[in-house]
Structure 1
Amino acid sequence: MNIELIGVGLIGSSMILDLRKNFDLNVIGHDLNSDNLKYALKNGIIDQVGKSKKFINSDIVFLATPVDVSLKLLPKILSIIDKNTLVIDFGSTKEKICKAVQYHSNRDLYLATHPIAGNEFSGSKHALNGLFKDKIQILCEKNKTRKDLLKIAEKLFISLGMKIKEMTPKIHDKHMAIVSHLSHISSFMLGKTVLDKKSKIDILDLAGSGFESTVRLAKSSPDMWTPIFSQNKSNILKILDDYIKNLIDFKTELLNDNFSQIKNQIKYTNELKSVLDNITKKK
């Protein structure tokens, strides 16, 4: 199977590592970061570095770039590939990219996906075996992808141990704003709040595991996350309003010494434990 990997980072590289366990692959890597390419080539993630973007004899093109880059590249790629090449993107926003190619003559050669996997690191050197096992792979508008190509994609994802879930691009972006994008914003802004303090060195010396786990996501790539916030702006603004209201309510209770209400709020949010436990059991 000939695969063109555009974006030799954590997600794309990790996927190739695991797919190699079950499929005979020839992978051509494309990336603006030469270090990503060198590491991937040296460690057997890719077989060669792409010299052009003609994608001749390609079975699959993995589009694993930041969402703003994918938005620009996808229409161009669909215009030059042959009729039996499948293009799959892995971006964290889906509505804009799906709309961008909704009337493209080769729309049926594209599958919009979002693997719910990853961490705060980026680059091929952070590629992980087993990253996708038991993780959800979201498919959007799969009815618009040619059936034989869709079957190939689903076979690949199932071989990784992924659980396939379908949703519309609009619902996907709304949900991601709540469970993913807001958590990154919270982490970024907590990190900024600490870094803004003059005594940040002393503060960080006292930081424990709670602080570390909360700001872990603040180490995420700005090149990846700024475009996500831009593309999902409307959904993020709505959930930010709710989040800020909760912070203001908490501050008001604190100012009024209403600690019984604060305790009730904490008890209420503790219900998340049972919700998360049930999700874990389903997995």
Structure 2
Amino acid sequence: MLNLVTNTDARFYNEQLRVLAERGVHGETLAPPGTHRARESVTRRTPTDYLRFLPTVLRNSIGDYDLIHANYGLTAPMALAQLRLPVVLSLWGSDLLGEYGWLSKRCARHCDAVIVMSDAMAAELDAPCHVIPHGINLSRFSPQPKDEARDAVGWSRDAKHVLFPYPPTREVKDFPRAERVVTAAAKQVDGLVELQSVYGVPHDEMSTYYNAADVLLLPSKSEGSPNSVKEAMACNVPVVTTDVGDVAERIADVSPSHVCQSDDELVAGLVDVLSSPRRSNGRENVRDISLERMGERIHAVYESVV
């Protein structure tokens, strides 16, 4: 397996590698030169960086591989430039729904198989594809006592905490909107309400932050199948979110949780949860997207094209 990816640090990508390795799939990962990470200081790659990546891909494609897996749409042109190996393309969300969606759609027509994260993405692609959401480590993300979690992360036991698990600089996540709706909700709720932007911590520790929160807030402009929603569900943490990606389907039977269209609805959703903080039934609705199930389904796609 020759994997192409824009961000080798992506947590869900590394989980994908791990579960596939357990199924006997091994290989090498290549990334374009330059830096493209969702952190405070983001350096965007240029078209020149991707052109410089092409010879590397062509040179490596002559190795002893069975296929190329292009993870994220911007890596697809390089994967398709070689003519020896079948190509599987995974689209993660912004690569289909954002600025370069046209490129992902064009490349998808020439790939041997395409994987998307949600039915909404499949509808947007409007081409044959496999819907396989990113899986969740249900052993790592599980409920724990809220007060113990708050002590562990240094949050006040007495305040009400709204979790925003992204850097404020991630434009698509819309941190200004998060600030706006939390400020409005706090005026309608007794006690102190704090918005917690958590990022850059080891993934192993994120479960503690979810459990320390009263609610996950996702005011995103677009998503594929956001892992933060599924991880919060696995911890029985309520979710208040915009109607993006597959979240409406994912939390349809989860209570308390709210899928919202407007700022007013986001505020109302937060007020509902924060006025009477309680855990959700999310975990019982997320068991079908374990990492093991994801690995099984991706492996089946590989077998279909090799």
**TM (normalized to structure 2)?**
0.38
Task: Look at both structures and tell me which one has the larger radius of gyration over its CA atoms.
Answer: 1
**TM (normalized to structure 1)?**
0.40
Which is helix-richer, 1 or 2? 1
